[in-house]
Structure 1
Amino acid sequence: MKLIISLVSAVHGVTFTLAILYFRYSRRAKKDPTSSDSEKFLTVSYQSLLKATDGFSSANLIGMGSFGSVYKGVLERAETTIAIKVLNLVHRGAYKSFTAECVALKNIRHRNLVKVLSACSGSDYQGNDFKALIYEFMVNGSLDEWLHPTQKIGEINERPKSLTFCERLNIVIEVAMALDYLHHHCETAIVHCDLKPSNILLDEDMVGHVGDFGLARFLIKPFENSSAYQSSSIGVRGTIGYTPPEYGMGHEVWTQGDVYSYGILLLEMFTGKRPTDDMFQGTSNLHGFVKEALPDQVIEIVDPVLVQEKVDREMSSANNRLNEDSKRAHINIEESWISVLEIGVACSAELPRERLDITDAMAEMCRIRNKLRANKICQ
């Protein structure tokens, strides 16, 4: 009797254990994000992309990059407007760029990064290699188009694009949030390596998204307990004007390189001047131009669009009898210009040890915005 009871108990125990394991495995499989409908990539072919863009017509061309062209298209089956980056595989580094971007974007998710929807790798109708990346379409285009608008055919009577001070502040904070995520909150730190206005895209709500990871590099720690990083690969490291000086001397790619690019981007956003402007010759540059003018001559270096916005606000307040709160608000705007540009100067310092960490820069920018919100200048 004891033997029978022991055998029955053992069988029941094994059955119960197997049942629990099967139940847990089933639940895990159902929750697996890779099998979720919302996370599945779109299935696209060369034929579907050809149809979506009317044969990659120039009418649908919305941008040109270092390694290819970007087209706007509509996938009929999914009824989705998309942006399609077609790699120019004749260009040296295009294959590596395609691979780098696929790997970088495969496992990262952040509200301020451009979302990749799919990739297409195959052949065209002539048998040539074809590679393309499919992104979420950004209605308001690139930041570069807003900072340096050019009038196009058919836009004669349209109001030129311009960004308010608060819109610029929001965008530059959103870019900092994206970089902070890439540098400090990914399983492996990622350096963007090509941060510039044309790689910042704006959605319908004017929210900034960092895109184009064709030059992105993964950073790996040489030793488990090391605080230092080394780049997983070498090669092209950015765009002239935005690339940190140490890269020109053979320094490995690192997060402080992105911080430098962020500082230059910030200075460009609030002065309206490109780092490659003709006024910067010899040893003069955007960083030095701003640093020399701060703080007393800030009104002379800020983007004229922002100066006019401030004047319009003052005139509006004057018509409504300027009170003490309004006077304080105007002082706060000028103080905020100085604070923002000082952060840009600190991030773009020539010596890496003098640069801010992106987390600290983001915190300082948020503090400035919170102060403006408290004074009802920004929303």
Structure 2
Amino acid sequence: MVYRSMLLLIFNKCRSESNRFRRSFSRFSPLNSNALDIKKPPYKVLFFGTDDFSLHSLGALLKERILECRRERSDEILTSLDVVTNSERSQVGKYSLARKIRVFLWPPSFEVNEYDVGLVVSFGRLIPSCVIDKFPLGMLNVHGSLLPRWRGASPVIHCLAEGDTETGISIMGIEPEHFDTGPILLQKKIDIPPTTIMPDLRYRLGKLGAECLIETLRDLPGKLANAKPQPTEGVCYAPKITARFARIDWDLMTAARIYNLERAVKFLYPLTTTWNSLPVRLFDVEVLDWRTTSNRPGYISYHRNRRCVVVECAQKTWISVKYVAVAQKKPIRATDFRNAYVKRTPDPEIGKMFK
């Protein structure tokens, strides 16, 4: 009986998952017999967002709405635009209220079929089926990566930290209670130059995401009918990060890895380590082709010509550091750090090591 009960439980779970996927994917499937009957624009839109990345898409939608209200466009894509956000003090909340856009706070209360489609951009919440099912055309998400690579909350940061040379935007259908697993309606790639920092890449992707969203809405029936499931290969995750993400592990991280890490967290968190048991922040890091005898990861040297601190990293690689902040003090030049701290340490072995 126990064996039979276990088999029944497994069968019911598999059937439930299969039904969930079938329901969530049916409106996006090219095999959908109603594909040619999908409602054409213009649409009643409910927008879900919170931050600066969201504002690119919301601004593009508002611009379309204003032009249509002035009868400057014949190819309308939306007849109404309302917003859902987490707080009226969020960037999306402030932007919307200043422009007299109707704002709902999460969780929103609205009727079935009151809106045609829900649009989600950097919202940060799992959307339940009871919300998704209220939209005849479902919900779409603007995601800042080439899915299935970098599913999750921080795709821009993780792609830079890993040294990716390309990324892009994915417009995807939203599945209930799942992050970034839905079928793809549109993808566009961009290159990442090796000196790109996080704020710049985030801005580029925000603008591209807005363009892709408008393009998708203009041909939503075609995009929905030809949506494709995400590949099962190449899946990786980009969870939300904390300050700990910016901590350097000298034994494991190469110079290139540390340089990419600073690019990824630029203006969000400083790179951190310790010196003589004190917390330290490092700024303006570069990979350095340093011709010297290897000591061990974390070992501090000084480059007189460049006037910078040089630190050995994993695999006998080196970085240069222009500014250092010890404990809670303000950043100082590398030369001052060397003179005020490293040279004055009683124990030269400890004084010459980051840990």
What TM-score, normalized to structure 1?
0.22
Decide which structure has greater strand share. Answer: 2
**Greater relative CO (CA pairs within 8 A, separation 6+):** 2
